[in-house]
Amino acid sequence: MAVIKRGLKWLTGRGSGSVNSSVPVPGRKEDKPSPQYRPVIPGAELMATAGRQKQIRMLRENSPLSGQVISAWWITPLEQLAERVQDVPACWEGAYSEPGGFIDLSLEVAVRSVRLTRGMMLPPGATPEAQSEQAPGWVCAVYWAALFHHLDWLAGVEGGMENGRVWYPGLSAPAVPWRIRPRTGDAATGFNAMYIASNLLPASGVLWLQRWPALAQALFTYLSGAKAQSGILHSIISDARASCGPDVSGTPVVLAPPVPAPVPEESRTESPRLSGDDSNLLSSKDNIPVAPAPITSAETHYDASQTAGVPAAVPAPPALISAFGSSEEDTGDKSGEALEGEDDQISTAALLSVLDRVTSGNPADSAGQQPTEEIAGESDLPVQSGEVKAAGHGELFFGWLKQSINNGTLSVNEQGSAIHIMASFVFVISPDCFYRYISAADDPELNKNIIQRGFEELNIHYERNGKGLYHYHKYETPDRKGRYTKVSGYMIPSGILFSEVKCPESSTWLSPRT
């Protein structure tokens, strides 16, 4: 009878025994929570699964920081977040609705965002020296924003503990076994998410980030709930989130006013050194599925200067087409999982052969050239809402690209350039060039995916089987030795873009991937 009463007290959460169930007592390991409750698991143990450890390894491989900094500024907040949310899902149904889905989604978006950022030149428009100096800061800001991007969803979760007390997921770790359900009534505001993030951010890291005020402000703006106002930071995380699958928010996000998040007063860790690890390598190819959305834009068309002397269908050299028909398995990229592997890699030998022939003045015989064969791809998909407007955005982008190259606004063949010359082709780095366009337009409503879709629909770049990305190594020195970054982009005939100035010689910073 005593056992039955004790079980009833557990189920109702009204146990008032002489022993406080919120305090662990030696010798009670055999006690198990009621089936209605889930056990409390330390954050480090939650992160010890094989899948999550694999993601953490990918973070370390793609971070420019030292191992000590990664542990203090990245892994510690991750474990603290895991301990505060336990096995809470990221939604009530669908993807990431299983136990632990919240941490799985947060970690996945963080990894994808970091990998995307490492292949970009940030901030757009800055000098190569400034971009190099700010690179660690951008990677950190993107990681923190991505890790905490889904915190506002916790406002709609109501938690309870086995001892009858309320538990607020994210605000604190539960003391005893817990359970959750959807919150009824009015949910808390977006300030809850900002408060949670401010308590998890490493104080020493936040102080270090203040050396770049604009970057720190963008991070605080994002965490405050005004995500769209954080500019490129929001674009990067949105792209990473979109690549994880359908939106799982489930409930509308309550946006808070764009005020800076408070900086924690107490530092949980010493400020470790920022150097010691070699910069890791990352491909920046961007193959995130596009979710079309209607956007209003002015009607635009090519003018005569843009199309003069350009054939309606640009014929691709057969050897260049054959380079797209082969694939390369990049065994040197430790983090080359299926994360960004939708595009076939280009055969290095074939691409080198093409570029060697063009550079030496012996291109493939043009007598038998045929326009690139159109095979079912994105251009053959049924037109959906918003896709008609995408073409207008693509033309605006192309007009800006051509004008910026000819007036010198965009540098060419420099270490930090988004434009490089490879033989008689213009290599446009993606997604860097699209983000530079968005930055120059100063319009936070612009969507990189729609702009990129519109550009691809112009059909002015070489492509094969619906895939038009080339992949190169960009070195830190012009002798093409030492450290490099993997970059991807589009190949465009130089005559289309260089109509007012002479096309420069080939870039000394790039070489095909080997």
For every residue of 228-266, DSSP letters joined together read GGGTHHHHHHHHHHHTT-S----S---PPPS-PPPPPSS
pLDDT mean by block of 10 residues, the chain; 514 residues: 41 39 40 72 93 93 89 95 93 87 94 88 82 90 94 89 91 92 71 88 93 92 89 89 68 37 38 38 38 38 40 40 36 37 39 42 36 34 46 85 87 88 87 86 81 87 75 85 85 83 86 73
- 227 phi/psi in degrees, rounded to 5: -65, -40
Are 397 and 323 part of one and the same domain? yes
Residue 118 included in any domain:
yes
In the block, which residue shows the tokens 């990431």? 96
8 Å CB contact between 243 and 452: no
Cis peptide before 123 (omega within 30 of 0): yes
User: Which residues contact residue 259 at a Cβ distance below 8 angstroms, ignoring those fewer than 6 apart?
Assistant: 220, 224
> What's 190's domain CATH number?
1.10.3210.40
Residue 309 included in any domain:
yes
Residue 233 included in any domain:
yes
**Residue finishing a domain among 223, 242, 261:** 242
| Strand boundaries in 157-303, DSSP class E | 157-161, 166-167, 178-182
Are 130 and 238 part of one and the same domain? yes
Amino acid (one-letter) located at 316: A
Q: 3-class DSSP state for residue 95?
A: coil
Domain range spanning residue 415? 304-366+381-512
DSSP state of 216: H
Q: 3-class DSSP state for residue 409?
A: coil
- 157 phi/psi in degrees, rounded to 5: -110, 130
Q: How is 448-472 classified by DSSP, letter by letter?
A: HHHHHHHHHHT--S--BTTB--EEE
Find the largest Cα–Cα distance for the chain.
95
d(CA 32, CA 51): 27
Are 360 and 481 part of one and the same domain? yes
Looking at residue 361, its pLDDT comes to 39
CA 32 to each of CA 159, 167, 375, 439: distance values in angstroms, whole numbers, following the listed order: 19, 19, 60, 55
d(CA 248, CA 153): 9
Are 190 and 56 part of one and the same domain? yes
d(CA 467, CA 344): 8
Q: How many domains does the chain have?
A: 2
Are 158 and 77 part of one and the same domain? yes
Looking at residue 35, its pLDDT comes to 62
Are 116 and 202 part of one and the same domain? yes
Are 227 and 317 part of one and the same domain? no
CA 387 to each of CA 235, 402, 484: distance values in angstroms, whole numbers, following the listed order: 19, 23, 36
Residue 274: exposure state from Cβ atoms within 10 A (0-12, 13-18, ≥19): middle
Are 70 and 185 part of one and the same domain? yes
CA angle (187, 191, 196) in 5-degree steps: 100
Looking at residue 112, its pLDDT comes to 93
Residue 217 included in any domain:
yes
**Residue finishing a domain among 211, 242, 273:** 242
Are 360 and 441 part of one and the same domain? yes
Residue 386 included in any domain:
yes
Residue 252 included in any domain:
no
